């Protein structure tokens, strides 16, 4: 069998070779079917070590078969966003905007919240918190 060069293609190919449906594979991995669909659609191009092992085990292949097809984009934009952007982000959150995309990976919606605290003079202040599910970005 000629293996597909992409993770998406390879997972799809091996899953079908094993006679598994997306649902079967999701169940074997204890993942949502949508997650498997995302991987097969090429939305996820690389996996965490744990996910890779789980997926490889469910597909009954060695983890490297998946790893060698993974593509982890090396992006300079994954460095921390500039302070102006963080400031703007915080302002948006404080104004109740919640549909914000992570400024670091630009892939996931941020989980935002407004917290209450006190400044050094004891005055009540509100500050924005946000974190990303997809990358280590945290606004604090």
| Window of 6-14, 27-35, 85-93, 95-103 that interacts with Zn ion by CB under 5 A | 95-103
In the bound state with Zn ion, the residue whose beta carbon lies nearer, of 61 and 78, is 78
Q: How far is the CB of 87 from Zn ion (least distance, A)?
A: 18
Write down the residue that tokens 């469910």 correspond to. 58
102 binds Zn ion (CB under 5 A): yes
Q: How far is the CB of 76 from Zn ion (least distance, A)?
A: 15
45 binds Zn ion (CB under 5 A): no
Site string for Zn ion, 121-140 (x = CB under 5 A): -----------x-xx-x---
Q: How far is the CB of 137 from Zn ion (least distance, A)?
A: 4
Q: Is residue 69 within 8 Å of 54, Cβ to Cβ?
A: no
């Amino acid at each position: 069998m000629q293996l597909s060069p992409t993770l998406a293609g390879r997972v799809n190919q091996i899953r079908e070779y094993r006679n598994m449906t997306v649902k079967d594979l999701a169940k074997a991995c204890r993942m949502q079917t949508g997650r498997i669909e995302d991987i097969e659609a090429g939305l996820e191009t690389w996996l965490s070590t744990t996910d890779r092992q789980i997926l490889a085990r469910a597909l009954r292949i060695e983890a490297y078969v998946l790893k060698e097809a993974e593509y982890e984009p090396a992006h300079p934009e994954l460095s921390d966003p500039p302070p102006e952007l963080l400031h703007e982000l915080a302002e948006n959150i404080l104004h109740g905007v919640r549909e914000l995309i992570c400024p670091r990976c630009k892939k996931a919606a941020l989980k935002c919240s407004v917290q209450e605290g006190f400044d050094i003079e004891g005055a009540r202040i509100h500050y924005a918190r946000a974190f990303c599910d997809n990358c280590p970005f945290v606004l604090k």
